[in-house]
C-alpha cells in the first residue's frame, strides 16, 4: 500500500534516493516532511547526511557501519508508516518585504508583461502561503512555491552580476529571498530585512524544508527600522 508512495533508488556507493511522485506540489512536500524524521530515527548513527528536496530525500550512510542491504531494510520499515493525505502543516514563518520600484527593480517589467498594476503584483505575491520546497544553490537559499500563475515570469535573459542581500525574487512559479549578495537571474520585486543565513548564529536560518512562508508588505520606514539597508 505504502510502497506506491515512494521508491528507493541507489545513488552511489553509500547514498540512496527516496523518490516520491516527481511533481512540485504541497501533498508531495508533505510526504517529504513526514519521511525525513522517520529516516533520521531509523538510521540513527549510520546516517551521515539527509537532504530533503521537492519530491525526494537523499540519504547518505556510513559505509563502514552498514551497507545498502541494511539501509534498504531500515528505510522500508521506517517508511511503512507514511500516509498520504495525513500531512501535518509545517511551521508558518512571516517574512516582511519592502515592495517598491526602488527595492524591486523588476516590478514594473512584471506589471507591464502581465498587464497588471504594480500594486496588483505586490498584492498577488502576498496572497498565498508558500511552501519551502528545497534549500540549496547557496547557503540559506530557499526555493518557495508556487507563485500565482499570473506572476510566473521567466528568468532574465542576462543574469545580474550582483543581486543584493535580502532581494525577494520570482522565477517561473517559484519565489525566494537571496540570503547574500550573489549573481542571479531571477526577477527582483522587493527587499526583506530578515537575515536568511547567519553563519555565526544558531539557528543559522529562519526556514527549513517543509515550513510555510507568508510575505507581508512593510513600509520603507519599517524596513529601515528592522535593519534593512538600501
The one among 30, 35, 39, 52 contacting another protein by CB under 8 A: 52
The one among 7, 12, 65, 117 contacting another protein by CB under 8 A: 12
| Residue 24 sits in the site that holds another protein (CB under 8 A) | yes
| Residue 64 sits in the site that holds another protein (CB under 8 A) | yes
Q: Give the burial class of 64: count Cβ atoms within 10 A of its Cβ; 0-12 exposed, 13-18 middle, 19 or more buried.
A: exposed
| Residue 200 sits in the site that holds another protein (CB under 8 A) | yes
Q: Catalogue the E-assigned strands of the chain.
A: 7-12, 15-19, 47-52, 56-61, 92-99, 130-135, 142-145, 160-163, 167-171, 174-177, 182-184, 187-191, 212-217
The one among 98, 130, 186, 197 contacting another protein by CB under 8 A: 197
Sign of the CA dihedral running 85, 21, 54, 19: positive
The one among 135, 163, 188, 189 contacting another protein by CB under 8 A: 135
Check residue 227 and report its DSSP letter: T
Binding site for another protein (CB under 8 A): 9-15, 17, 22-24, 48-58, 60, 63-64, 67-68, 134-141, 143, 180, 197, 199-200, 204-205, 208-209
Amino acid at each position: 500500500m505504502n510502497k506506491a508512495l515512494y521508491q528507493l533508488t541507489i545513488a552511489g556507493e553509500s547514498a540512496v534516493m527516496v523518490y516520491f511522485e516527481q511533481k512540485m506540489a504541497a501533498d508531495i512536500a508533505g510526504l517529504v516532511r513526514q519521511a525525513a524524521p522517520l529516516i533520521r530515527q531509523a538510521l540513527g548513527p549510520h546516517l551521515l547526511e539527509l537532504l530533503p528536496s521537492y519530491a525526494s530525500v537523499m540519504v547518505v550512510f556510513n559505509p563502514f557501519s552498514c551497507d545498502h542491504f541494511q539501509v534498504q531494510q531500515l528505510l522500508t520499515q521506517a517508511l511503512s508508516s507514511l500516509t498520504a493525505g495525513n500531512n501535518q502543516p509545517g511551521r508558518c514563518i512571516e517574512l516582511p518585504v519592502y515592495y517598491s520600484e526602488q527595492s524591486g527593480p523588476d516590478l514594473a517589467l512584471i506589471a507591464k508583461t502581465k498587464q497588471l498594476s504594480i500594486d496588483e503584483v505586490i498584492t498577488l505575491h502576498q496572497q498565498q502561503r508558500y511552501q519551502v520546497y528545497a534549500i540549496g544553490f547557496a547557503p540559506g537559499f530557499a526555493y518557495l512555491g508556487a507563485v500565482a500563475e499570473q506572476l510566473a515570469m521567466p528568468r532574465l535573459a542576462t543574469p545580474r552580476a550582483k543581486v543584493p542581500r535580502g532581494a525577494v525574487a520570482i522565477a517561473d512559479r517559484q519565489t525566494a529571498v537571496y540570503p547574500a549578495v550573489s549573481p542571479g537571474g531571477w526577477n527582483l520585486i522587493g527587499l526583506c530585512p530578515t537575515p536568511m543565513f547567519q553563519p555565526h548564529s544558531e539557528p543559522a536560518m529562519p526556514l527549513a524544508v517543509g515550513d510555510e512562508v507568508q510575505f507581508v508588505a512593510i513600509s520603507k520606514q519599517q524596513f529601515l527600522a528592522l535593519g534593512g539597508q538600501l
